Amino acid sequence: MSTYALPKLSRPLPVPTPLTRPFWDALAERKVRIQYSPSLDEYIFYPRPLAPRTLADDLQWREISGNGTLYSYTVATRPPAPHFAAEGEMILAIVQWDEGPKFSTEIVNVKPENLHLGMELSPVFTDYPEGNITMLRYEPRSGV
């Protein structure tokens, strides 16, 4: 009987575009920078060329704290794709930044049973040199 081992797949990584480059560059600097619309008087995310609802060409890149709260999460006990088979259990989440927008991410450095909605979170910057990219994850805010 023969066996076949699946090839080790590398994690898919984002490819910055001219529109998203300021976000990715900020993560490499250990900062979180997203767009702000003066016409709406609010921060927005995901990056886009025009402000939502007003279609104003007034978007500015501004640094935010990066802190947020746990809005929603799920514990993936099975890999969401073959590339993540070696990761084991993953906590996939939506974090609401203190400045307003929501962000899809992964929660790290905590056991699932210690999570609760509304939990205060801090950013964790994870470098992937093979893709020349830094990813943004979250962990419980220390001292909380």
Confidence tier at 78 by pLDDT (50, 70, 90) = confident
Which CATH architecture is the domain 65-144 placed in?
Beta Barrel (2.40)
Q: What is the pLDDT of residues 117-141, one digit of tens each?
A: 999 999 999 999 988 999 999 999 9
Q: For residue 82, give the DSSP letter.
A: G
- Output phi, psi for 23, to 5 deg: -65, -50
Q: Higher pLDDT residue, 86 or 51? A: 51
Each domain of the chain, given as residue ranges in start order, spans 18-64, 65-144
